[in-house]
Amino acid sequence: VKPDGQTASHHELPSTSELCEPPTPPPTPQSGQSAVPLKCAVCGDTALCKHYGAVACSGCKGFFRRTVWKQRTYKCPGENDCTINADVRSCRACRYAQCIRVRMNPRAVQGDLAECRKNGVICTPPKRRATYKRREASG
């Protein structure tokens, strides 16, 4: 919904670069040195670019997107201070809280209209399979 109360059309959604944007480029490495790989702000795993406003690995990006799409709420079985790292991401409540802490933006998740650039190719979320009722054979 736009500020004047009208509904935005799908043509007015954030551009591709706003949904999946590469982070600020690191300084050019000196000859013989490799660039430092990006770290996911949520779990510390290797990341390729920014997703929903924060540098995130594909696992945390997908977890965040599914949580927002399905409007999930999670409850921590502990004290809301579970360890979230590349090896341990099992507490969904603490993982989602960490996504929000690192400023991943739920409003940036655009459902089936979302597009992001990945390795120069446009990727879209998988479409839901249509469910068909089996026709009974007439005999």
**Which is more confident, 20 or 6?**
20
Exposed e or buried b for every residue in 49-58, given b needs 16+ CB within 10 A?
Answer: ebbbbbbbbe
3-state secondary structure of 65: helix
* pLDDT value for 94: 97
Kindly report whether the global pTM for this prediction surpasses the value 0.75. Answer: no
List the chain domain ranges. 58-109
DSSP assignment of 89-127 equals ---HHHHHHHHHHTT--GGG--GGG--EEETTEEE-PPP
Class (C level, CATH) for 58-109: alpha beta
